[in-house]
Chains A and B, each alone.
Chain A
């Protein structure tokens, strides 16, 4: 990544650091909790970096790196009505995600992150926009928890959504992203408000 892109990304991170949304809760009960963790394998990271592309979590999303598993962005659950074992409803998530391309110097930030239990897609709204874009989908090997089990879970391979690939390539002026591109894994953990 060149110096221009690094500066652009750093600025974006600072600008995009918005107030942290608090989890919704019933009047007297426990708020919804959990997270959606997107892990990019080292293979995907290498391919992306070689193409000049990097992604950074925006608060209140958090990032981590493991030399074996790869890089993980974790979005905290802030609310939602999902029933994951029934593939019903959706989750609202805190934080955001910024993508930057070091070659073109372009950057795009997303907030209003959500996960659809029915679509099994992670969506987010680009800053300045209003319509959510499906960025990543649960792909192969998706396994879920049974009805009645807490916390509810869904885990599987993470693929780039075709709509997300088209949006990112256009926004970053790249040709790197492809619908169905295997990124790594997606793990959803959710305990409803009570």
Chain B
């Protein structure tokens, strides 16, 4: 069951559109923020709040890559592997992360901290290679820079418990 705040947020946002259905992507983000991923119970609640069939909610949720359908690590490392990033070393970064964290693309570290993903162009090719973690972009990446970023994320995770 979603929190009262999340439910209210979904309902409030639905009022901002000529049709409540338009609020579905926002609602899926709200669920993902609260639960870490989007699963059946969350989609059921959205269906009920927005007054649409469950199958429609599911059809939309599975269409978009930013919705995490299974539990994932605390931080998702979305490394861009499209052309410019690839020309400038994205595959080397993926290799480096494999050596460092022991995970391949689409795998999660045993401590549940990181999930590695290869994603398509992030629209920041001028600073390639690029990676997105949560809402933040990290660019002009090198293995050394990755070390620093992973340490910083671990520290942050430690603080938030």
A and B: bona fide binding partners: no
Residues of chain B having any CB pair with chain A under 8 Å: none
